[in-house]
Amino acid sequence: MAQTASHPRQSTDEGLAADELSAQLEVYRRELTGYCYRLLGGAFDADDAVQETLLRAWRSYERFEGRSSLRTWLYRIATNVCFDQLGSSRAKRERPMGLGAAVDPVEESLATVLPEYAWVEPVPTDHVLPGASDPADTAVARESVRLAFVAALQHLPAKQRAVLILREVLRWPAAEVATLLDTSVASVNSALQRARATLADKAPDRSGASEPTTPPSADESELLERYVTAFERYDMKALANLLREDAVMNMPPYAMWLEGIDNIQAWLTGPGYGCEGSRCVPIHVNGTPGFAQYRPDPKGGHFPWGIVVLENDGKHVTGITTFLDTEKWFSRFGLPDHLD
């Protein structure tokens, strides 16, 4: 594959078939989706950007001179597509915790609902991360698609965002990034320094982990299993033992969020009482274990309720994010629309 990508003109001159070219481009879909997702913060926006990238590449392949690798050329196109989207977007995507203070666990807190383009969205891990590779690289990649990190990226100007992802996540040399962005190495290094400073301010590490861990750790998987067991039993004491004291709960598209064990328990036994009796299906989402929640259906079985992302520090759950747009997310994760 690398040899083919290094000599695209030779392949074209020999009459590269359209389906063969499409197959070559398709190889890069997953990693390009991960790149665009980090830049844009939206799963479906990333899909659109990648589709546009591959379409532009297919249409302009005859003009590709082969002075860079096919991969680098595709990243250049994807970067421009994403910059165009960011330039025309309404506002940066956020999480509820970035919009205001925590609220009391009362039903009135559900009054504010924001549109889908306001939120950093979840994404299936295997849609944005490559397969088995170097454990250190895999760990960095996982951390770079976590909700908190993706949300923090949205605070960066577009160029700084791209520089940080290309340099620190994808490990591109500064000279290659400079070529891709049509700028100087000094400008790339300056943008990276400013991006790091902004992230240090915008993305305090709620996970408690100072270094990325290899995916997924036994502790993480065990914590998910214990949480799911306690949640399905609706055992408030067991759930409290699994939560960190400052744990947060949020439910996009609602702007509200809760902080602290007592408030989370009060919500689950108050406005959220309908979650009792739920069933949970484990999934991998944003580089971390999570689950799909199905609530009891009065007609029998269980119906889709939310995609739950659990953030953790390896010992305790630090964040519970439930995405409630079931029609959109359950099909995206390949989940059934009803449990018998």
CB atoms closer than 10 angstroms to residue 170: 18
What is the greatest pairwise CA distance in the chain? 69
Provide the whole-model pTM. 0.89
**pLDDT value for 216:** 55
Q: How far apart are CA 46 and CA 81, in angstroms?
A: 10
**pLDDT value for 161:** 97
Condensed to tens digits (0 to 9), the pLDDT of residues 95-124 reads 999 999 999 999 999 999 999 999 999 999
**Under 8 Å between Cβ of 103 and 264:** no
Residues in Cβ contact with 236 at an 8 Å cutoff, skipping those fewer than 6 apart: 265, 268, 269
**Under 8 Å between Cβ of 167 and 192:** yes
Q: How far apart are CA 22 and CA 24, in angstroms?
A: 5
Residues in Cβ contact with 54 at an 8 Å cutoff, skipping those fewer than 6 apart: 25, 26, 29, 32, 74
Q: Which residues of the chain have pLDDT under 50?
A: 1-15, 206-215
**Under 8 Å between Cβ of 302 and 294:** yes
Q: How far apart are CA 226 and CA 242, in angstroms?
A: 8
